Structure 1
Amino acid sequence: MADLNTQHMIDEIRDNIQTGDTLKTKLVLAHLPDVDMKTQNRLIYELSRGDVRFTVPILLYLMTEHVSIVDELPVIKETLLSNLLAYPELLIEFLSDTSIKDKTHLINVAGELRFEEAVPALLYLVANSQDEPEIKLIIETLGLIGDPQAINTLTDYLYAANRDLIITAIQALGQVGTQSAMHRLAERMGTDNEMDYMILSIFADVQDPVSLEKLNDTLASHYAHMRIYAKQELVRIGAKAVPALIDNLLQDDPDFVIHTLNVLGDIGDESAIMPIRKLLGKDPKSANVRFAAYEALALLPLRKGAYTLTAGLTDPEDHVCVAAAKAIDQNYSEILTAGIKNLLRPKGDEARHIAKIIVSAQVDKIFLSLAAEDFFQELSLVYLPHAHKDTKEHYTRLLVKHGFDEFANKIQGGEDVKNLVKVVAVDDSRMILNIYKATLHELGFEPVLFEFPASAIEWLQNEKPAMVLTDLNMPEITGVMMAAEIRKKYSPKELPIIMVTTQNETNDNEAAYAAGVNKVIQKPFNAKSLKAAMDEFM
């Protein structure tokens, strides 16, 4: 306003500060938007010279009642922070002052300062507040401060009626980060996917003994999304998680052991080698456990004792034999060559089976070490000319590259049948995909293989195979999620889906059927068992 006397305003605010007249001070400052910037800064300067107990409430009044001028005049907030930083002990007094109605800025300062002495006052405020935005801010601030005395109050909000407050409390307990806080978070899991992911990610960041234990325990969860996320986080943590994972190998739950072996293989820490070999030495009843053990060993650096892997080539399940072959190929040596030759020389049923495994597994080191032997050529040529065209082409190129032209020419004896019925197989294990390729080809289908569900979903938008075979436990998109996506385009009758998994969990099976899966079968499969399942819908 043009008729305002700026000097009079400055003189008046000085007098009001001296007399402690809050009301008149507020009246003067209400005209801040009407004066020039120089006068604005001078008025705030005069205010800052007053007693902090007088100045801070006035500054808070400005910040809550005159927001627009505060945005234009950052010196107001700077002055408030300066006062509170100079006298942090008074922050508690202001937080408890009932005459200050809006304590938002005080709460924020308490958080910025990580001021532990303010925690009792904050706990009192949150217990008596009915304002949800204020409650949320206090919970966030208690998390920033990270004082364990707030754990009980934060735990109460884990079960609030307001989802936003629950998520805020989860994040705050994660910032507190004590073992007690981690226990409270673990107890909250199991009712909401988003919250479960959030809690597991907190465990992965904190990595204290309790967090690692809870992540590890989650491998045995009845919910696929939980297991998958826990596996990813344990792999990310790496060697620090290995001791707890090794202890899991002593458990009787096959699924738990399988998930553990998957993680140990992906981590690749060689301290896991001996425990895995001891596990195989006990000859686990579950073929899926034996498969997962050899699959893990294929990813680990076996410097000694690799010759013991040859025992896996005589396993009664083809899946296990393929995994053992991959592990042998990864750690190949002259001793292993000699051992495999001894198994093949008799040329009996066992030798023919091992040759078939070597062909279907596409284990180049093993294949080349045997390629010069007449007995291996004879055994492998029972299967090679009738193998999938990709397999034949692979071995033809390999043999020609290493000077085995005559052997390579013999591979091409079989005829490739065109226009075969397509069957899609989706699995994040390349080893399993290789088994699908050989098995589906043997059954007379054209296998269409996908390692990533997203790629399969995209392909299925324009193509319609006779059937989809899918794993359950896959990162990012589970088999259940993929099935639900497929059902948006194809009905169960139009495109049957069979879930082929190591799991046999009630929750997983129910979720699979609810998503539109036609049938759930367990691994390991062979040509006979897979054909029996497929024949129900073909």
Structure 2
Amino acid sequence: MSGNVNTEEFIKELHFCIKENDLVKLKALIQFFPELPEKNKIRVLFEISMAPDELAFPALIHLLKFELTQESVKKKLYYLLVDRFFNHQELINDYLLDPELKNKILLIQVAGELQISQSLPVLNEILIQETDISVLAAVIGALANINDSSSIRKVADFLYYGHEGLKIEAVKALCKMGGPSSVNLLGEAVTGETESDFFIIDQLAEIQDQYALNMLIQLLNSHCTPVRNRAIDKLVEIGSKAVPAVIENLKCEDDDSIIMTLNVLGSIGDKSAIKPVSKLLFKNPKNANIRFAAYEALEKLPSEKAAIRLAAGLEDPEKQVRIAAARAIDKNISPVLVSGIKNMISQIDESSKDIVATIIDSGADRTFEYLINSQIFSNLAVIHLAKEAHPDTREHFTNLLSAAGHDDIVEKIMIATDLKSDKKLLTVFAVDDSKMMLRIYKQKLHQMGYVPVIFEFPEKALEALENEKPDLLITDLNMPSMNGIELVKRTRKKYDEKKLPVIMITTQSDFIGQSSKNKFDAKNIKEMGIARIINKPFNDEELKKALDALLKK
């Protein structure tokens, strides 16, 4: 079609129209503009731009009546329109309302680029009347640039329009407009049921003002696992800037939220969190999971000032908490702490046995080395390593003792070690992102007569499941890269619930259907092929009872 128009003749005629200031002939000539080659269209636009305003302005607008498909042409025309409307903003509304203009999107974008507030009523009307997705997206973008508070609710309506593309544009616009209203509307749109939920959370994380940080905290408190985990990931990525808002969330009344908050503070590793976490521990929370999470956080937040308070955790009634406290102590070990622990094990009793076992089972190497010269500690360590500890743990500490020249203690351990039978033991896979919980599983399962295989990352567990079927799978619910529910779903593609029973471990008491707001009721759990739900903290008897029942021992 372009062959029907001689470009040189077109340019020659264009120059004549401009010279004679003949707008009528110029508009008649422009009707052949779509037939020109792309590079020549750019040249024509340049020639028109050099004309006086009274000729160039209507000529450029007239071009909008034609379908323009080449991006380079539209881009050039857009910049020329921005330049012309800069000093004639009062004219744009008339053109926006002109039904003959096919490229109205360019004008909408110009109104946004120049932040022409007089165009708000017209743009809002287009938003109501228009059905073309591209036009609606352009209006949403323009309203974001103009950034008038009266448009926030109108833009937010497109979060529920039923079109993912427009929802994404609305999210971008609200983030750009900012402020408490925009952020609250974005937060309300996160339901855990749409593809764009993660996009909203990611965009909130980009804003990083106080409103956005507070909303991320609200999403951290969500009972929807994917939403909560995404918010956690983003808060950790933001880092120290998020810490004050995260610390404030320690005041909330929901135990699960406090636990997640402690996890975030530990992962960020900002020392300003030490004081509030220590203060929380000083109040001795009734929920053992909170105490566990607090000690776990303090392990990642080493501080000699807070260390003296850690020793009390070794006498916690729950073993998981004692393990976490021992790990935190090991990172903060000092002569003062060592003296405190020695006083706690000054005589051989059940409490002393538990403390020594905890130090060993937690892998607290530095603490072990400080205390091994204590006669009581040494005697109790020999008994635990020989009779109760996992073989890997025994090997680790005997190597440590040998390297330190304590061959006499190693010999005592070897003499006292029970010889196990050759009976084939059942294998249990345990998956948890907490290294401390993995240590606990390893030790408990061994003592119960099972072969434990532990995984910190669900992806690694899935790889192992491709090549080996254990007798049972234990998985935590809340893990960052892949939660326990997703792990079970993927596992079920290979093994049904009869071939591989699954126990789900969680800190969420309402997971098992006690809350009407929770998505995971008993029916859903059964459909997912989860045989048992065990809430942390669990004792040995509870875990053993579930294992024996499912494996019919």
TM-score by length of structure 1 reads 0.90
Q: Which letter maps to 2:507?
A: T
Instruction: Describe the shift of the 1:199–1:138 C-alpha distance in structure 2 as closer, same or farther (beyond 3 A).
Output: same
Distance of 2:45 and 2:282 partners within structure 1: 84
Matched residue SS, 2:430: strand
CA deviations 1:15-51 (Å, max 9, x no partner) are 88524346523345455349x95x9836861575152
Matches of 2:104 and 2:287, distance apart in 1: 62
Structure 1 distance, partners of 2:206, 2:282, is: 36
Evaluate the alpha carbon distance shift between residue 347 and residue 140 of structure 1 in structure 2; reply closer, same or farther with a 3 A threshold: same
Task: Give yes or no for the alignment of 1:519 onto 2:532.
Answer: yes
Q: Which amino acid aligns with 1:403?
A: G
Instruction: Check if 1:464 corresponds to 2:469.
Output: yes
2:492 equivalent in structure 1:
487
1:28-47 map, 5 Å: 28-29=32-33, 32-33=36-37, 37=40, 41=43, 45-46=47-48
Whether the 8 Å contact between 1:13 and 1:28 is mirrored in structure 2 is no
1:237-280: CA deviations, max 9, x gaps? 22333333333333332212111111121222223222222222
Matched residue, 1:477? 482
Cα 1:365–1:12 shift into 2, 3 Å: same
Q: Structure 1 residues 193 and 128 mapped into 2: Cα distance closer, same or farther (>3 Å)?
A: closer
Helix, strand or coil for the counterpart of 1:337? Answer: helix
Evaluate the alpha carbon distance shift between residue 174 and residue 364 of structure 1 in structure 2; reply closer, same or farther with a 3 A threshold: same
* Aligned partners of 1:56 and 1:83 also within 8 Å: no
Counterpart selection for 1:441 from 423, 446, 450: 446
Number of aligned pairs? 533
Q: Which deviations, in whole Å up to 9, do the C-alpha atoms of 1:113-132 show, x marking residues without a partner?
A: 55555444322322221222
RMSD: 2.8
1:473 deviates by 0.7
**Partner of 2:426 in structure 1?**
421
Matched, 1:24 2:35: no
Unaligned runs of 5+ in 2: none
Amino acid at match of 1:521: I
Q: 1:286 to 1:131 in 2, by over 3 A?
A: same
The match for 2:413 is: 411
d(CA) in 2 for partners of 1:251, 1:57: 58
Equivalent residues of 1:439, 1:526 under 8 A apart: no
Q: Does 1:230 align with 2:234?
A: no
Preserved contact between residue 268 and residue 300 of structure 1 (Cα < 8 Å): yes
Residue 508 of structure 2, aligned match among 503, 508, 514: 503
- The amino acid across from 1:337 in the alignment is V
- Structure 1 residue 299 corresponds to structure 2 residue 300: yes
Please give the alpha-carbon distance, in whole angstroms, between the structure 2 residues aligned to 1:160 and 1:192.
15
* Superposed displacement of residue 83, structure 1: 3.5
Is the CA contact (8 Å cut-off) linking 1:466 and 1:496 kept in structure 2? yes
- 52, 62, 86: which one pairs with 1:58? 62
Deviations 1:69-94 (A, max 9, x none): x7589866664554345655544443
Per-residue CA distance 1:474-509 (angstroms, 9 max, x = gap):
112110000000000100010001001111223364
Aligned-pair identity (%): 38
8 Å Cα contact 2:497-2:529 kept in structure 1: yes
CA contact under 8 A between 1:309 and 1:328: conserved in structure 2? yes
Structure 2 residue 536 is the aligned partner of structure 1 residue 531: no
User: Aligned-pair distance for 1:104?
Assistant: 1.8
2:386 alignment partner, SS class: helix
Deviation at 1:461, TM superposition (A): 0.8
C-alpha contact (below 8 Å) 1:148/1:178 kept by paired residues: no
AA partner of residue 393 (structure 1): E
Change (3 A) 1:290 1:85: same
Contact 2:323–2:362 under 8 Å retained in 1: yes
Match among 395, 398, 410 for residue 396 of structure 1: 398
Instruction: Please report how far the alpha carbon of residue 135 of structure 1 lies from its aligned counterpart in structure 2 after TM superposition.
Output: 1.0
State whether residues 143 and 151 of structure 2, in contact with CA within 8 Å, keep that contact through their aligned partners in structure 1: yes
Q: Select between 477-486 and 221-230 the one with higher mean Cα deviation.
A: 221-230
Distance in 1 between residues matched to 2:74 and 2:214, nearest whole Å: 51
The code of the aligned residue for 1:443 comes to M
Greater alpha carbon shift after TM alignment, 420-429 vs 477-486: 420-429
Deviates more, 1:208-217 or 1:440-449: 208-217
- Call closer, same or farther: CA 1:72–1:417 in 2, change over 3 Å: farther
Which segments of 5 or more consecutive residues in structure 1 lack a partner in the other structure? none
Contact 1:10 1:43 in 2 (8 A): no
Shift of 1:167: 2.8
In structure 2, distance between residues paired with 1:500 and 1:76: 61
- Letter of the structure 2 residue corresponding to residue 347 of structure 1: I
Q: Classify 1:392/1:113 alpha carbon distance in 2 versus 1 (closer, same or farther; 3 Å).
A: farther
Tell me: CA distance 1:150–1:21, structure 2 relative to 1, closer, same or farther (3 Å): farther
Q: 1:79 to 1:338 in 2, by over 3 A?
A: closer
In terms of mean alpha carbon deviation, does 82-91 or 378-387 score higher? 82-91
Take 2:32 and 2:220, find their aligned partners in 1: how far apart are those partners? Answer: 65
2:57–2:84 Cα contact (<8 Å) kept:
no
Residue 203 of structure 2 corresponds to 202
Change (3 A) 1:192 1:416: same
Residue 108 of structure 1 deviates from its aligned partner by: 3.0
Deviation at 1:345, TM superposition (A): 2.3
Partner SS state of residue 482, structure 2: coil
